[in-house]
Chains A and B, each alone.
Chain A
């Protein structure tokens, strides 16, 4: 029991050190934005896929925004991927097709396997361009975003590109405000630090791009994956393609406004991530492929992020067990120092990261909400652990993976 606890403490310490490394890198390190200054070029043809499943509340916003971006209109084709919608999504898309002839080619999907990856896979029959961008329907791209996301494809090493997601409905309630802080930490610090350090920035599946030849080389979209973005990141990595992160390519999104929707969202992410962990974890770490040594280490740690929730819960239970068993693992004073040090430094690593992100964003008072993140953390750890357990038990219970669409809350069409 004590050795299990030691192992868990070691793994948690590795993640703690990683949090600090990333945060300090963002605060004091050299920042990499290698493609952001590409403002003049012979811009290539690009296809923009807009994933839409029952998106009548939001799809008009993104199509309007895409029709007014600063990109040569004769080199840009928008493909709304209408995945079996039962609301007015099709009607709205078709009205835009009429309004902007030749610039939008809809893909109305009426059957087939559910899920975004499966829909994107089917929509690839309309894609002929090397540069492909992907947006979820609730995003609102700004004028310069398309050029910024296409620019990395001038680099022949780049297979995927990811922009920054910025919540739009921040002020709605406590949950949206907490998600705003989490997104800040995740993108402003985590993703950019991985970019700076030549590690593994993660493809997010929206505000993102992929190179057609790279996608074909790795076998296309994996329709069995619950998180096609994570799956894509690792298959690109294993084949020597880089995914790059563009912190200044910001795009508004809508975050969940109630806890049940948030819990379903994070459980889907956890299951998808754990799928990728099972599929690629050992091979990434020990296999013969094109990833570098530091990409192997960081990629493995990134894959394990969601698995850490149940591991932490087990660690807590083991700690209680050790206490009631009366086992003294280390000399008392060393244990006391270790406990104090971890309480002061380790517990706050993620919070420090978010605080640094808020500072880098030049916002001020929202940092006051930091203590409430304990609530978000508690919900996450139990939701993710629940997802993990249900996934492990799936072969016994016979439960099937299914794709939960995130509910939209926008009221103005």
Chain B
């Protein structure tokens, strides 16, 4: 399974939606995911890909990981997988 499909699955599960209802341009807020849901999603991503995501819930904008949209999250995870599995 590719990174994009798996990340969307994780986000969909958190949002209680079908993966097909999660669009790449959606923000987590649009999908109804709050700050707790976000931290849970990041954890699920780390477990699924065996990576470490640099994310500080205290100040997400300061983190070196863009969570502004599903597309940004997928891109960020792809980069981390490439870096950390290299």
A binds B: no
Binding site for B on A (CB under 8 A): none
Binding site for A on B (CB under 8 A): none
